[in-house]
Structure 1
Amino acid sequence: MSNPKTELRYNLSEDGSKYIKATFLNQVWLRWTDNNSGTTINGKPQDNTLDIGLRRTRLQLFGQLTDHVFFYTQFGMNNFNRLAQMSGNRKLQAFFHDALAEYKVFKGDDRLKLGGGLTILSGLSRFSQPSVGTIMTTDVPVFAQATVDQTDEFGRKLSVYARGQVGKLDYRVALSDPFPVQTNGQVAPEIGKRATFAKVGLNKQYQGFFIYNLLEKEPHTTPYMAGTYLGDKKILNIEGGLIYQKDATWYTPNGTDTTYADMLLWSLAAFADMPLQNNTYALSAYAGYFNTHYGNDYIRNNGIMNPATGTTDPSNFNGAGNAYPMFGTGETIYTQVGLRLPENLLGEMGTLMPYASFRHSSYSALAAPVDVWNYGINWLLDKHKAKVSLNNEIRPEFEIKPDGEPVKSSTRASTYLQFQIYF
């Protein structure tokens, strides 16, 4: 009897070194949100919402065509809920996330790969280029995708790059061509005293990310980086990276003269993901420091798959629904930890993995820090292939005082249940 298929793969050579592979990912959310002050949905005030959405639906097709040539494509959509297309057209969400071609310089090893195209490959951190199907914390820490949908396409940029593994060093460097901010489908903010992405001029971005593997090497097939290996590998890494773009933002410090600011983002982190007690348990832990300089008092609110359409509260700094200050000039400490329980804990029904994460951001535009807590549990029916995750998030709410400064006024919560299929 032949062994059952465990992946959608067609081998182009007898030894399987040349192949074409397809994968499918679907993440369905059922969510309750404690909305920000004054939130409205289709013009009606609503204190809280219950919504259903597709956080991500993706198709990947990639493969090693020759000893040297690799390609990768990804097509899909994100954040599709009942309000996904307020323009009246519900069919505009799917697009190519990635389309890259890559040349492996040395046959049989990963010392140097040269590539280009539309790609997630990033210089900031592992969570700036995450394998979303393997994330431990139900959703990624989106603040690490620092220019998402401002000067990129959902984190992807047109880039040429080099990446590889030399000994214990994993590296990637890239030259990226960012998109103009006025092409992101939203009205770009007018220039003011706080920095925003400039609508005049457009310089290249320089990126570099480096990992030192103290134990096993991480896989290097695609540019994406795993969230957790669930004990299948023994990983201990020290990581660091940066993104630089000259004159990326602009502002008017005195209300009249235009000043340009360079964007410099960098991070240092440690990552551990390994089995414990002869693989009875598995630990996943990350701790990182992020220094994000976008320009004078840059601040950007964002709400993941926002369930709301507007606000009636002029003192509400966060915006509608679940938005809060997610990106800004300043410093961030982010940490997460989880423990995969024994694999046979629930018999044929898999096992559990509880986790928690904490983010503390000190932004120059805000008098109080942005503290965000997430905690939850994964029910691993078949590792990452089929899992159910329950997450609760606590986020801050800021209000604008009469002097125009935003101050922290309260906290809000969101609870969501995710069912993931990843094959």
Structure 2
Amino acid sequence: MNLKLTLFIGALLVALAGFSQGSMEYTDGMKVKLNDAGTKYFRIISWAQFWTQYSDLETVNAAGNEESQFDFSIRRARVLMYAQVTDKFLILTHFGLNSQNAQNMSPTGLGANSQLFFHDVWGQWSLTKDHAVGGGLHYWNGISRLNNQSTLNMLTLDNNRQSWASIGLSDQFARHMGVYFKGKFNRFQYRLSINESIENSLDVTLDNAPGVDQAVYRGREFLGGKESGKNFAGYFDYHFLDQESNFLPYKVGSYLGGKKVFNVGAGFFYHPNGSIALDNSGGIRAEDVSVFAVDAFYDAPIGDQGAAITAYATFQSNDYGTNYALGSTYTTGSMFYSHIGYLLPSENANLKFQPYASFNTRSIDAIDDNASRLGIGGNLYLSGHHSKISLEYSRDQVGDLDAINTFTLQAMIYL
């Protein structure tokens, strides 16, 4: 057997043994009341996700040496705190790191690769019982449920990457600097935002200038803030069964039978003059960036033995500009994504298993071809989402290129 694959299987066995402690006694976690009534309080949430990954992708680093196909990494390590000062005011801060591995660690923790940063810092003022306005570095996004996904309770190993449709292009890791409005009218919920767009987007790794009939997402850099500085986003969903909370922006991935939910939603992201391209005469042509999506989410218990089903589907239309492509992640074209999971019946409240499958197919205008991703995996819950082991096999393919097969093992703790 391949040595790296053997090591991966060994890591799986160690994780199953070492993370077998779990308790369903977790309630509000680290919540501190500041008055007797509990109307003033602060709550701290902390979580970490450790990955062991094996891939058949063969890569070579800058020194000409073959990179390892078997790696360890910290996928996420986060701390979130929010405080309800009064029933009118709330402040939230959220900091941490993402995808730290041997390639991007710093010798002293202070170098250019240091990843610890604020994900969210925002304040909120309640206008009425059901409506509020807030501002700062926030996560009240548009487009779809998955663009507002919580990373604490996903069904799949990780979020569908293309659903976080603006990461690093107009925002800082899915967060924009701006103002938002959120609320609900009975079963109808909404979130709207007006935001600044960053000036140093991910596609600076592309050519330094736009190409003829191929846009780059750097309108603000070339055109200036006045013409391309602001973007607009919104998401709207109707709750047919149990209503979900919109106290915080983070959408739940799977309720594990704790609710009976059926929602349909639609959303958008619009950035006027967000990208640019060269016209045939060599002049810069500004192009609008627009992303739209519709989706549906269903999560419900089945029977009385603890079984449950979780299902989700979305169609997303992406227009980043003419023939825009940043790898195969951000591309002008369309996408369909769906996942489904089944929580098996169990008499043990602390030990549950949930197999799942996901599928993504998307068109890429720049190469006039399609890309796809298949994921098959399962979650072993040791204390609900607070302690779980996840294992997933994925197969990624772009056009006629060789598919990339990856096995990922995740151990997660959430307090």
TM range (shorter): 0.7 to 0.9
Aligned partners of 1:341 and 1:353 also within 8 Å: yes
Aligned with residue 410 of structure 2, among 414, 418, 421:
418
May I ask how many residue pairs the two structures share in their alignment?
A: 381
Give me the whole-angstrom Cα distance separating, in 2, the residues matched to 1:232 and 1:338. Answer: 15
Offset from partner CA, 1:53-76 (integer Å, 9 cap, x none): 000000001021101001111010
Aligned-residue offset at 1:145: 1.1
Q: Which residue of 2 aligns with 1:408?
A: 400
Aligned partners of 2:203 and 2:326 also within 8 Å: no
Q: Which residue of 1 aligns with 2:87?
A: 67
Offset from partner CA, 1:158-202 (integer Å, 9 cap, x none): 0101001210001001001111135x6964632113211122123
**Aligned CA distance change for structure 1 residues 134 and 252 (closer, same or farther; 3 Å):** same
Aligned with residue 11 of structure 1, among 33, 40, 46:
33
Q: Which residue of 2 aligns with 1:197?
A: 217
More helix by share: 2
Q: Which residue of 2 aligns with 1:316?
A: none
Aligned with residue 129 of structure 1, among 148, 155, 168:
148
Residue identity opposite 1:417 in structure 2: L
The two structures, once aligned, show a CA RMSD in angstroms of: 2.1
Offset from partner CA, 1:218-248 (integer Å, 9 cap, x none): 1122111111111111110000000111110
Offset from partner CA, 1:56-105 (integer Å, 9 cap, x none): 00000102110100111101000100112589937611000000000111
Secondary structure, counterpart of 1:128 in structure 2: helix
Q: Which residue of 2 aligns with 1:310?
A: none
Aligned partners of 2:169 and 2:203 also within 8 Å: no
**Aligned CA distance change for structure 1 residues 208 and 52 (closer, same or farther; 3 Å):** same
Q: TM-score, normalised by structure 2?
A: 0.87
**Aligned CA distance change for structure 1 residues 19 and 265 (closer, same or farther; 3 Å):** same
Secondary structure, counterpart of 1:209 in structure 2: strand
Aligned partners of 1:231 and 1:279 also within 8 Å: no
Q: Which residue of 1 aligns with 2:73?
A: 53
Aligned partners of 2:376 and 2:394 also within 8 Å: yes
Aligned partners of 2:356 and 2:378 also within 8 Å: yes
Give me the whole-angstrom Cα distance separating, in 2, the residues matched to 1:166 and 1:189. Answer: 47
Aligned partners of 2:155 and 2:341 also within 8 Å: yes
Name structure 2 gaps, 5 residues minimum. Answer: 1-24
Aligned partners of 2:106 and 2:114 also within 8 Å: no
Q: Which residue of 2 aligns with 1:244?
A: 270
Secondary structure, counterpart of 1:388 in structure 2: strand
Aligned partners of 1:34 and 1:48 also within 8 Å: no
Give me the whole-angstrom Cα distance separating, in 1, the residues matched to 2:126 and 2:240. Answer: 24
More strand by share: 1
- 1:347-358 equivalence runs, <5 A: 347=348, 350-358=351-359
Q: Which residue of 2 aligns with 1:296?
A: 322
Q: Please state if 1:260 is matched with 2:286.
A: yes
Residue identity opposite 1:230 in structure 2: L
Residue identity opposite 2:146 in structure 1: F
- 1:364-383 equivalence runs, <5 A: 364-383=365-384
Give me the whole-angstrom Cα distance separating, in 1, the residues matched to 2:184 and 2:165. Answer: 25
Q: Which residue of 2 aligns with 1:153?
A: 172
Residue identity opposite 1:221 in structure 2: F
Secondary structure, counterpart of 2:367 in structure 1: coil
Name structure 1 gaps, 5 residues minimum. Answer: 302-324, 398-406
Secondary structure, counterpart of 2:402 in structure 1: strand
Residue identity opposite 1:11 in structure 2: K
Q: TM-score, normalised by structure 1?
A: 0.85
Offset from partner CA, 1:349-388 (integer Å, 9 cap, x none): 5110000000010121123211111110000000100000
**Aligned CA distance change for structure 1 residues 15 and 275 (closer, same or farther; 3 Å):** farther
Q: Which residue of 1 aligns with 2:21?
A: none
